[in-house]
Amino acid sequence: MCNEAPRPLPPCILCAMSDAHAAYFAEVEERFDAAVDFSIGLEEEFQLLDPTSLALVDRFEELRDAAQGELAEHVAGELISSEIEVITGRCDGFAAAADKLLLRRLALSDLAEKHGVALGATGTHPFSSWKDQRIIDTPHYRLVEDRLKYVAWRNNTWSAHVHVGVHGKDRAIALCDAVRGYLPHFLALSANSPFIEGVWTQLHSARTQTFVRMFPRCGIPDIFGTWDEHRRYYELMLDTHCVHDFTQIWWSVRPHHRFGTVELRICDVQTEAWQALAINALAFGLVVALAHRYDEGRPLLVLPGRYIEENLWRAIRYGLDGKLVDFERRREVEAADAVRELLELVLPEADRLGLHPFIDDVERILSEGNGAQRQVKAHLEGETLEQVFAGTVARVRPSSGRDSATGEEAKR
């Protein structure tokens, strides 16, 4: 039931494909074949806010131009001018990536404060309207806006991505195919966007509903099985002008052509750094654990998309308050327990990969509540959406410059 082989394209279509992109794919394939296993890179997207009203403000270009040193090389635009992305760059281990995430959060917080900007880190802004936001003026995002119009304008969302280096193009595809089944687990754990446009949506991840359900070529990808099948799909998309660049396919897990990585893109951005590191440690550990199973010749569970979509909806709607379906055992499981089962899969890798103490905080999230649960609890106790949001903004900055990969400060 839970393994679905990809269907090859008809020969007539294969014969009609152009060879125009052969050089591009040769370079991408070489990149995967030369990739260093289990390098890691982390990305976080932050809201740029008026420090008094906490409304979104168009200040990206100003902060980008003012950034200095390492921060200047590791900030990027992300669709709208009230958003800024910070990246760690490629790191050789999780501890190094954790250090960079913490230090860059701190550096961005200092830069923003110096320029009279506050930072927000929730998957959606609770009250600023998408109608008031401006798409940044870059060739890439001009093309995105031209092609998507309202869909692009409406996408005021903030997420977090993790890249894991994977050696071998077929191996990367096998891992993407298997990781698909765990995407709802990561969304349930990371859900951090119950409010949007002044409304308590009663969803746990309004970001996912806004982005994944509106953007084309988004969400849960098909099963590809082999790199050749993946390449044929991309060639067809390029040759028929469906896309002009591989980044216009916004799947929630994908092989990243420029970096030679498996990229997980399902998570809401996390308000606090310790939450981000816990979830990223789990994601990193999962890719490594699945890679080792693949290398040992053990089968990987590859779920059909129709089953994953059911769990994805449950994660969007109920987050950690709901249940996910274990389709192999034909039963529902409390979402928190499903995440604990995932944690058990990863824990044997934790010592070797240096994931402690970060991964230990997954249980802290499950016990204390994730971002959506905490925000809803505060709202039900009488706080307005504005007051709830102010509480999240106050927790974005890491506690001190002493935060490091030792985790001594990162955990609080």
More confident residue, 374 or 400: 374
121 close to 269: Cβ distance less than 8 angstroms: yes
**Is 239 a domain residue?**
yes
How far apart, in Å, are the Cα atoms of 63 and each of 48, 285, 390? Answer: 10, 34, 22
Number of folded domains in the chain? 1
Question: Does a structural domain hold residue 406?
Answer: no
- Residue 358 maps to a domain: yes
Task: Give residue 21's pLDDT.
Answer: 79
The pLDDT of residue 7 is 53
Place of tokens 């490594």: 288
Among 350-364, 372-386, 396-410, the range scoring the smallest mean pLDDT is 396-410
Which percentage of the chain shows pLDDT scores above 90? 90
**Whole-number CA gyration radius for the chain:** 20
In this prediction the pTM is: 0.92
- Under a CB-based contact definition with an 8 Å cutoff, are residues 30 and 87 in contact? no
> Mean pLDDT over all residues of the chain?
93
* Domain containing residue 101: 11-393
**Mean of the pLDDT values across residues 121-135?**
97
pLDDT confidence band for 94 (50 / 70 / 90): very high
Helix and strand numbers (H, E) in the chain are 17, 13
> So what's the pLDDT on residue 405?
41
* Predicted confidence (pLDDT) per residue in 131-155, tens digit: 999 999 999 999 999 999 999 999 9
User: Residue 22 has what pLDDT?
Assistant: 87
What pLDDT was estimated at residue 76?
Answer: 96
CATH of the domain at 115: 3.30.590.20
Residue 40 has pLDDT above 60, yes or no: yes
Does residue 409 form part of some domain? Answer: no
Res. 16: pLDDT tops 80 = no
Q: Who's near 383: CB < 8 A, 6+ residues apart?
A: 391
Angle at 178 between CA 36 and CA 287, to 5 degrees: 35
pLDDT-derived band at 187, boundaries 50, 70, 90: very high
**108-122, 335-349, 396-410: lowest mean pLDDT where?**
396-410
pLDDT band at 407 (very low <50, low <70, confident <90, very high): very low
What is the rounded average pLDDT of the residues 108-117? 98
Domain contains 402:
no
User: Is residue 68 assigned to a domain?
Assistant: yes
The reported pLDDT for the residue numbered 251 is 98
Which residues contact residue 372 at a Cβ distance below 8 angstroms, ignoring those fewer than 6 apart? 191, 192, 193, 194, 204, 205, 268, 319, 320
In a domain, 160, yes or no: yes
- Residue 317 above 70 pLDDT? yes
Per-residue pLDDT, 71: 97
> What is the average per-residue pLDDT within 72-81?
96
pLDDT value, residue 18: 56
Is residue 407 assigned to a domain?
A: no
- Rounded to an integer, the average pLDDT of 17-31 is 83
pLDDT attached to residue 8: 53
Question: Is residue 292 pLDDT above 50, yes or no?
Answer: yes
pLDDT tens string 234-269: 999 999 999 998 999 999 999 999 999 999 999 999
pLDDT at 271 over 60: yes
Q: Which two tokens stand for residue 359?
A: 């991964």
- What does the pLDDT average to over 279-289? 98
For 10-19, 48-57, 254-263, 357-366, which range has the lowest pLDDT when averaged over its residues? 10-19
Residue type at 209?
Q
Task: Indicate the pLDDT class of residue 5, thresholds 50, 70 and 90.
Answer: very low
The pLDDT of residue 401 is 41
The pLDDT of residue 10: 53
